[in-house]
Amino acid sequence: MHPSIAEQSVEQLGGRLSVLTRQKKDHIELDELLQRLEGSEGADQERVLLDIYALVFPHAFAEESVLWPVMRRTLDDGEELTLAVEREHQEVNELVTRLETLEHGTLERSEVLDRLTEVLREDVRDEEDELFPRLQSVVDRWELRRLGLYWEIVRRIAPTRAHPVVARRPPGNVIAALPLSIVDRTRDLVDAARYAARVDPPALRAVSKGLTGAGHALEHLPFMKSGEDESTRVESGSVGSRTALVAAVAGAGLLLVLFSRRRR
Ligand SMILES: [Fe+2]
Ligand SMILES: [Fe+2]
């Protein structure tokens, strides 16, 4: 079996365009961000978290929709291997959703942050030491480059926030990608403006909260959960699918109004 991708050169990983080189680069960047997160507080901590979300969620979403299906098709134990990392991704989504509701300076918030850091590091180790060396043993360098291209394209249009209800597998996550991404990336712009200001402007906070609600409501549309393994499923809770549909249509309308005004 190949050694951990942490120990391989760019050439051994299949070149600059290989999915393995791209993965390793993101994992190094994540490690730097997690070091910045340690000991950060207030708006500074929120800014680091925004950078972590923008890196981690599209990265993982593209793994779930492009890479893990290939591993399930090509490896005998692909199901078991990918399910383990899907559970880690699911926990990250649930922890970040909890973090959205927790005040700064509370014990619960620091416990959630510690666990988040721990799971993110475990996920990187599982992928670099186990999953990717296994993938390397069944596909050639041209396939690694082709996967690198697909993974990169999906990553660029994928959601940037936590979505614990959406399926961790196709077809649900593929259907969910674009609508959730539009809501999330609008929220990123609003939140970046909030944390750049010295005082959190109440109007922007309300817009951000509305977009958070719209994103979570969208997740509850039934087809976005299709393909999910039972063990990574989160119950729909109190949001019914009709409420979700109404919220989704209202959210899309709001975004259309915002974007058409910006263009004028
Ligand atoms: Fe990764
Ligand atoms: Fe991952």
Q: CB 68: neighbour CB atoms within 10 A?
A: 23
Going from the Cα of 211 to the center of ligand 2, the distance in angstroms, rounded, reads 25
What's the whole-number mean pLDDT along residues 79-86?
A: 96
Going from the Cα of 64 to the center of ligand 1, the distance in angstroms, rounded, reads 10
Going from the Cα of 127 to the center of ligand 1, the distance in angstroms, rounded, reads 6
What's the whole-number mean pLDDT along residues 239-249?
A: 54
Going from the Cα of 243 to the center of ligand 1, the distance in angstroms, rounded, reads 34
42 and 104 in contact (C-beta within 8 Å)? yes
Going from the Cα of 125 to the center of ligand 1, the distance in angstroms, rounded, reads 9
Question: Given this model, what pLDDT does residue 197 score?
Answer: 82
Going from the Cα of 49 to the center of ligand 1, the distance in angstroms, rounded, reads 17
Is 11 in a helix, a strand, or coil? coil
Going from the Cα of 23 to the center of ligand 1, the distance in angstroms, rounded, reads 5
Going from the Cα of 214 to the center of ligand 2, the distance in angstroms, rounded, reads 25
pLDDT > 70: percent of the chain: 89
**Closest ligand to residue 128's CA:** 1
Sign of CA dihedral 56, 62, 64, 69: negative
Question: Given this model, what pLDDT does residue 235 score?
Answer: 63
Going from the Cα of 134 to the center of ligand 1, the distance in angstroms, rounded, reads 14
Q: Is residue 25 over pLDDT 80?
A: yes
**Closest ligand to residue 26's CA:** 1
What's the whole-number mean pLDDT along residues 195-204?
A: 86
Q: Is residue 234 over pLDDT 50?
A: yes
Task: Please give all residues whose CB falls under 5 A of ion ligand 2, grouped by chain where several chains appear.
Answer: 60, 123
- Between 25 and 251, whose confidence is greater? 25
* Cα end-to-end distance, the chain, whole Å: 58
User: In this predicted model, what pLDDT tens digit does every residue of 144-184 receive, in sequence order?
Assistant: 999 999 999 999 999 999 999 999 999 988 888 889 999 99
Mean of the per-residue pLDDT values for the chain?
Answer: 89
Q: Is residue 49 over pLDDT 80?
A: yes
Return the exposure string of 79-118: e unless at least 16 CB atoms fall within 10 Å of the residue's CB, then b.
Answer: eebbbebbbbbbbbbbbbbbbeeeeeeeeebeebbeebbe
Question: Given this model, what pLDDT does residue 263 score?
Answer: 52
Q: Cα angle vertex 182, ends 211, 153, to 5°?
A: 145
Question: Given this model, what pLDDT does residue 228 score?
Answer: 84
Rounded to whole angstroms, the Cα distance separating 60 from 168 reads 9
**Closest ligand to residue 64's CA:** 2
Q: Is residue 238 over pLDDT 50?
A: no
Q: Is residue 12 over pLDDT 50?
A: yes
User: In this predicted model, what pLDDT tens digit does every residue of 96-149 receive, in sequence order?
Assistant: 999 999 999 999 999 999 999 999 999 999 999 999 999 999 999 999 999 999
24 and 6 in contact (C-beta within 8 Å)? yes
Fold of the CATH domain 1-158:
Four Helix Bundle (Hemerythrin (Met), subunit A) (1.20.120)
Going from the Cα of 242 to the center of ligand 2, the distance in angstroms, rounded, reads 32
Q: Is residue 28 over pLDDT 90?
A: yes
CATH 1.20.120 in the chain is located at 1-158
Residue owning tokens 């990553």: 155
**Closest ligand to residue 151's CA:** 1
DSSP per-residue letters across 178-228: HHHHHHHHHHHHHHHHHHHSSS--HHHHHHHHHHHHHHHHHHTSGGGGTT-
**Residues 26, 28, 33, 37: what is their CA dihedral angle, to the nearest 10 degrees?**
130
